[in-house]
Amino acid sequence: MAGAQGAFSLREVLAAFQTCVTEQREVLLGPYLCGWRGLIRFLHSLGAIFSFISKDAVAKVQIMENYCRGEQREKYVSLQSMVEYELASGLVDVQKQSGRPDSGCRTVLRLHRALRWLQLFLEGLRTGREDSRTSVICTDSYNASLAAYHPWVVRKAATVAFCTLPPRNAFLEIMNVGTPEEAVAMLGEALPYICDVYGITQELFAQHKLLDLP
């Protein structure tokens, strides 16, 4: 997989999340979505059993990319400008209604919740023992985060897919940053940036009472 065209590299994802946060502590949507695109590329390389997850992630990233390219694109430069614009324009459904396009806020909220899973998963990988199982780290991280928002059938399918994950060291190698030790070092570098993006988004959404959007 390493060296193949379009191969995943953790470095690119790190760079994207690193450039997300501005000096004013705003989260830029461009690099945020680039980071997600990189993660989705990685997910594709894990096989068809993960395609129900990547399909949903791609759909959500696409919704956001369309907003970022659309007529109101200057309102979708950062999460802060998006929240301000969508709330002021009444574009956010606080109760489930039919027929309206998914707002940026509810879409980002789904990605944001998944970022919490990613944070826990990468931390688990980083600090795990050499012989620890990726599937267990992944399941534990999922149960402590995203699972709460998913119905039983999705939880079940996700848990089955997690069981196919390669062992920890093989998994670290397909991240394409060198040896497992180098990947662990890179994770140590990457995580604070991902945590920062997560923390700022969480605070922003909490402040505007957007954490439970249907």
| 144 touches ligand 1Q0 by CB under 6 A | no
Of 20, 27, 57, 64, which lies in the binding site for ligand 1Q0, with binding defined by CB under 6 A?
A: 57
Cα distance between residue 52 and residue 158, in whole Å: 9
| Residues near 92 by beta carbon (within 8 Å), at least 6 away in sequence | 86, 103, 105, 106, 210, 213
Distance in Å, CB of 53 to ligand 1Q0, minimum: 4
Among 10, 16, 27, 184, the residue binding ligand 1Q0 under the rule CB under 6 A is 10
How many residues interact with ligand 1Q0 (rule CB under 6 A)?
21
DSSP per residue, 94-128:
SS--SSSPPPHHHHHHHHHHHHHHHHHHHHHHHHS
Q: Angle of helix 79-88 relative to helix 180-207, nearest 10 degrees? A: 30
- The window from 39-47, 64-72, 73-81, 93-101 that contacts ligand 1Q0 (CB under 6 A) reads 39-47
Q: Going residue by residue from 105 to 124, which x/- string records binding to ligand 1Q0, judged by CB under 6 A?
A: -----x--xx--xx------
Q: In 3D, which of 117, 61, 109 has the Cα closest to residue 83? A: 109
Amino acid at 187: L
The 67-106 site mask, x for binding ligand 1Q0 (CB under 6 A), equals ----------------------------------------
> Is residue 158 close enough to count as binding ligand 1Q0 by CB under 6 A?
yes
Is 20 a binding residue for ligand 1Q0 by CB under 6 A? The answer is: no
Q: Are 119 and 94 within 8 A, CB to CB?
A: no
